[in-house]
Structure 1
Amino acid sequence: MRLIFVSLFIIFISACANTGTSEPFLNQTPITQYDSLNDYWLSDKKMQPLRYLTKEQYKHMKGKKIKIEAKYLIDSNGDVHHVEILKSNVDIPMESLVKKTLQKQDFYPSQSNSSKRPIIAYAGLEFACN
């Protein structure tokens, strides 16, 4: 009985420790050229990147209009990986902010993407920090 309890406890702890995967799940080669992201992946959530600013970032950017262009991978599960900032009009690190913002999108496949094909996507984030 004790052995069963210990075994179940170890399995439970292992499952809790492995809640997320750091590697993207790709069932096919990602698409790199396309007309519209909405042809492949959709999201009903609106991005609110200001929620994820640190106090230091907020103080530095207060009163500015921030523009960021980013490249990222949407894998076959709709998860965001490999966020890369291509252009930014601020000189402080913004990668964690952009990554959190994009990961909160909860992408799901469009009707035309029933195979859940991954895609290399681009986003232009623009927000005002008042």
Structure 2
Amino acid sequence: MKPVKWFATTACVLILSACAGTPQLTQKPVEIPVHEIAKYWLPEVSGFSYGSAPRQPGTVIVRYLVDSEGDIYDVEIVKSTPEGLWDGVVRKSLRNTTFTPSPLNKARVPVKVTAQYDFSG
């Protein structure tokens, strides 16, 4: 491959991969509790299997960004009890979730969501 062609190809790949990892924001995100998400975004969860889930009950409080394209970014575990036990389940679930704008969200307003997940074990 000629050096110029190789450089152009490499540059395109780097630019595209950088774009894929950056949230798309049409405006500043609005902070909301999870029970208000349907006012802005409707979840689409693709199925997944976690394997053997922990047998102990637990709670995970997580905060994440739904950008203007309905993709999830900046997943942050705020609190986890017992620490770390259910974090993987929550993270995997969020990786398999995308959102479509609700009829009320024609402007595709991005949101920062705080949610609590309780597990019975």
Instruction: Name the SS of the counterpart of 1:32 in structure 2.
Output: strand
Instruction: Identify unmatched segments of 5+ residues in structure 1.
Output: none
Structure 2: gaps of 5 or more residues? none
- SS of the residue aligned with 2:113? strand
Moved runs in structure 1, 4+ residues, more than 4 A?
93-97
Corresponding residue for residue 74 of structure 1: 66
Question: Which residues in structure 2 correspond to 1:1-130 (within 5 Å)?
Answer: 10=9, 14=13, 18=17, 21-33=20-32, 36-45=36-45, 51=50, 62-92=54-84, 97-129=89-121
Q: CA RMSD in A?
A: 3.4
Alignment: residue pair count? 119
The normalised TM-score by structure 1 is 0.68
TM-score, length of structure 2 as denominator length: 0.72
Do the aligned partners of residues 36 and 46 (structure 1) sit closer, same or farther apart at CA in structure 2, a change above 3 Å counting? farther
Identity value in percent:
24
Larger proportion of strand = 2
How big is each residue's C-alpha offset from its partner over 1:24-48, in whole Å with a ceiling of 9 and x where there is no partner? 1101110114771100011142786
Residue 108 of structure 2 aligns with an amino acid whose one-letter code is K
Distance 1:87 1:62, change over 3 A: same
Supply the AA of the counterpart residue of 2:94.
Answer: L
Largest Rg, 1 or 2: 1
